[in-house]
Amino acid sequence: MTVDCSFLNTLQRSSPKDAWAAIFDHAWEVCTAPFGSGTPESEVWKRDRELSDIDLFLATAGWDLWSHFESEVDRTSDVLANWWNDSHSGRAVLILDALSLREVPWLIAGAEERGLNVVQARPTGAELPADTTPFAKAMGFGQRSSLSSNNAGSSHRLPGARTETTDIPWEDCAAFVGAEPDWAFWHHWPDKDVHDFADAGEGLRPLVAKASEHLQSDAFWKLVERLAEGRRLVITSDHGYAASEMFPDAATDHADYLKKTFKSGRCVASDEAHGHWVPPIDLQLHTQHGSHLFVNGRRKWKSAGGYPTLTHGGLSVLEVAVPFIELSRKGGA
């Protein structure tokens, strides 16, 4: 669905909180509907393109909304910690690194096919920058690797959880999950594939094909069912990703600046002011994870080795909106 002018006018008249809620709701509606008769690759490509109008609005007339993102968006780290504290023992979290809204249809359909209740399903916000370590720090882990072999300590925001992080195949993951009542399991997929398919000639379509294979596999759902055995389970993510192969090339003067400032990335730690263009092509934001410059919106440029076809860390909706899905066994926890 193409965004109409009335929706954009509503965003401009709304408070930052209401505007962000409307943007996230719209992105959820576009990305998470059951797949139709087309191939998943074509469906996801189409949905990604449909959100380009929102990203254009946020990069132009609505760019000031980014300064309100941390204060007005329900961030995953806070929602997850609050859910954990409000729940009884018998809790599990499965963090799929770089899972985006694009992958939600498989998760919802798979849960229903395997007799799991979808207690809630909604979008929540990544940290800024939309990267792994800021989320780990926001959860009190310091870094993702801290969860390995239950070495996360006791000062994080999921108290009592046994922790693990790995990139091993799904069929081997369920064996990690013992009878402990509370679990936090951080798997490195799909982030590993995001980086593997970021080269020229790869990109979103092969990533979607691989996601379809993973999220419909018995091995993946064996892990989900094991985590949900006697527990409420949340499946969520640290950040999303951008299909930057679909982004338009920046104008020459913009591209020179962006290449010098960001190399082939989407953000950089910096106390420097953003560029002089209006509307801005990058933004300087003072976040809870330090001062950074961020690429504003859907932009790419020529860089050594070619600009990545998939990336994250910048300011676009599918980089900063992630799924938060709570599951339970029917008749169980």
Q: pLDDT tens digits for 45-80?
A: 999 999 999 999 999 999 999 999 999 999 999 999
Q: Does the pLDDT at position 333 exceed 60?
A: no
User: Contact at 8 Å (CB) between 182 and 92?
Assistant: yes
Q: Does the pLDDT at position 116 exceed 80?
A: yes
Q: Does the pLDDT at position 268 exceed 90?
A: yes
List, in order, residues 6 or more apart from 258 with CB less than 8 Å away.
250, 281, 282, 295, 299, 301
Give the residue-averaged pLDDT of 121-145: 98
pTM value is 0.97
Give the residue-averaged pLDDT of 247-253: 97
Q: Does the pLDDT at position 330 exceed 80?
A: no
Q: Does the pLDDT at position 234 exceed 60?
A: yes
Q: Does the pLDDT at position 332 exceed 80?
A: no
Q: Does the pLDDT at position 331 exceed 90?
A: no
User: Contact at 8 Å (CB) between 204 and 246?
Assistant: yes
- Give dist(CA 97, CA 30) in Å, integer: 22
Domains and CATH numbers, the chain: 74-242+318-329 (3.40.720.10)
User: In this predicted structure, what is the pLDDT of residue 304?
Assistant: 86
Residues forming a β-bridge with 183: 92, 162
Give the residue-averaged pLDDT of 240-245: 98
Q: Does the pLDDT at position 203 exceed 80?
A: yes
Q: pLDDT tens digits for 22-40?
A: 999 999 999 999 998 889 9
Give the residue-averaged pLDDT of 166-195: 97
Q: Does the pLDDT at position 119 exceed 80?
A: yes
User: In this predicted structure, what is the pLDDT of residue 37?
Assistant: 85
Give the residue-averaged pLDDT of 98-120: 97
User: In this predicted structure, what is the pLDDT of residue 38?
Assistant: 86
